[in-house]
Structure 1
Amino acid sequence: MLIIEQNPHESIREYVYRFLKLNIIDLNLPPGQSISEQDVATQLRVSRTPVREAFIKLSQENLLDIIPQKGTYVSLIDTDQVEESKFARETLEKEVIQQACADFPSEELFQLQSCLALQELCISEKNYHRFFELDENMHSIIFKGCKKARIWNMLQLMNAHYNRVRILNLKGKEFEWDQLLEQHRELVKAIREKDVALGKRTIDLHLNKVVVDLEHLRKEQGHYFLTTKQQVFTVTNK
């Protein structure tokens, strides 16, 4: 697992939760893998209490399956949740992009352009993890520039399964990073030139890509996905 530093003023409970969620979404803890409170506590050098609390919270977010008398497992990817998150992002982000193309602060536009430059560097270094972070940051900047930061934060609460699909695809398809970067360039161009049609067309293409990716990934990595809702607790020892 990727060890991260505890932030200033962050409680141990918050730190353990953030550490586990990051590693689940980044697939360092892959879907279906067993995980124990004691192992995490030992690795982070903390007591089991904050780990147990983090487990419960992640279970409530459908990222961990806690099965009595059996163990705790990283939840398999739920395609219903992926599609629901995609619907929410598509519905809200189209409206936000439309607002951004009409009026967008120069400071946030500069941040978007800086983000593009860093994404180019990530591609040259084949750093998918940092590329994903910058991708998220870019969309966050757009929402913030339109005074919709709280809506972005709300979306993040339901995006975990959606983001695991994105990470799974980024890890396996370096050649598609250029395509994503080009779409980001088009979004920034649309905002800079106040081209609403280009902005809406690009964000539609950008967000719908996950649907195509999902179909491919379920064929290639089927063991990472739930097959039906009834199988949510039937994690096998793979």
Structure 2
Amino acid sequence: MIFETGKKLTSKKLYQILKEEIIKLNLKPGLSISEKGISEKFDVSRTPVREAFLLLSQEGLLDIYPQKGTFVSLIDLSQVEEARFLREHMERAVVKLACTTDFSEKKLISLEMSVKVQKMCIKNKDYIGAFKADEDFHRTIFEGCNKLRTWNTICQVEMDFQRIRMLTLASNLKVDDITSQHSALIDLIKNKKPEAADEIMKNHLTMVNYNLKKIKENYPEYFK
């Protein structure tokens, strides 16, 4: 990633950059970071860094301890499950809606492109690209059902869940299942089969429960 530096970099932009780096695991759980180090890296004063740190701590991505330091938060499995629960029920509802309303051909093409990109990224071990394509796929279903604000609400509470998904892709756990389920969902939306789509989405969003044990074995230091 090419970072902006200097006066152009506001606290909000810095917050977005750091948030993305945490979710991508470029800033790993438990890592110690400092206002001084970040301000020097991005060539900004400490004020926007302090403001960005505060926003990230409010979202649970940073732990700030006075007199001790600031650390990228460890992954909280209770928050992972809460976000997974929310996504499962919202996405099952929206995919059924996609099957019973006039889901546009343009959005179906976008879904197909997302699956192609995801397969290519997985083949090339580009897990960040695969993660983005996965997000694009799910967001497109919400967009196609005129429920983008619902998607944005989900995104506000799923930081730890997103980090688990990144670890799942990086660990190469059942990645073929992910893309095959995406392809199946496209066919079911096309053929207006809401009950079958509901079942696939349910299975799709409970896969994380089966991957957690292996992920915790591989990255025990990342968890609370």
Name the TM-score class by shorter chain. over 0.9
**Do the aligned partners of residues 15 and 120 (structure 1) sit closer, same or farther apart at CA in structure 2, a change above 3 Å counting?**
same
Task: Indicate the SS of the match to 2:216.
Answer: helix
SS in 2 for 1:66: strand
In structure 1, C-alpha distance between the alignment counterparts of 2:127 and 2:195, rounded to whole Å: 30
C-alpha contact 1:186 1:198 (8 A) present in aligned 2: no
Corresponding letter in the other structure for 1:24: I
Give the aligned partner of residue 234 of structure 1: none
Identity of aligned residues (%): 41
1:25 matched residue in structure 2: 23
2:215 aligned partner: 217
Change (3 A) 1:101 1:4: farther
SS, match of residue 72 in structure 1: strand
The C-alpha deviation readout for 1:180-220, integer Å capped at 9, x for no partner, is: 11111011111111111221111111100111112222233
- Structure 1 stretches lacking a partner, 5+ long: 227-238
The residue type equivalent to 1:188 in the other structure is I
Cα distance change of structure 1 residues 213 and 179 upon mapping to structure 2, 3 Å threshold: same
Q: Distance in 2 between the 1:40 and 1:110 partners?
A: 41
CA-atom RMSD, angstroms? 1.4
1:52 aligns with 2:50: yes
Q: Distance in 2 between matches of 1:63 and 1:34?
A: 12
Partner of 2:192: 194
Return the alpha-carbon distance in structure 2 between the equivalents of residues 217 and 128 of structure 1: 15
Structure 2 regions of 5+ residues with no counterpart? none
> In structure 2, what residue type is equivalent to 1:129?
I
How far apart, in 1, do the equivalents of 2:12 and 2:48 lie?
Answer: 8
Give every structure 1 segment of 4 or more consecutive aligned residues whose post-TM-superposition deviation is greater than 4 Å: none
TM value normalised by structure 2? 0.94
Matched AA of 2:22: I
Specify the code of the residue in structure 2 equivalent to 1:28.
Answer: N
TM-score calculated relative to the size of structure 1: 0.88
Stretch of structure 1 that moved more, 115-124 or 149-158: 115-124
The code of the aligned residue for 1:55 comes to F
Equivalent residue pairs, number? 220
Letter in 2 for 1:149: L
Within the candidate set 174, 181, 184, 1:183 is matched to 181
Instruction: Name 1:122's counterpart in structure 2.
Output: 121
Distance 2:39 2:13 in 1: 12
Q: Secondary structure at the match of 1:77?
A: coil
Q: CA deviation at 1:24?
A: 0.6
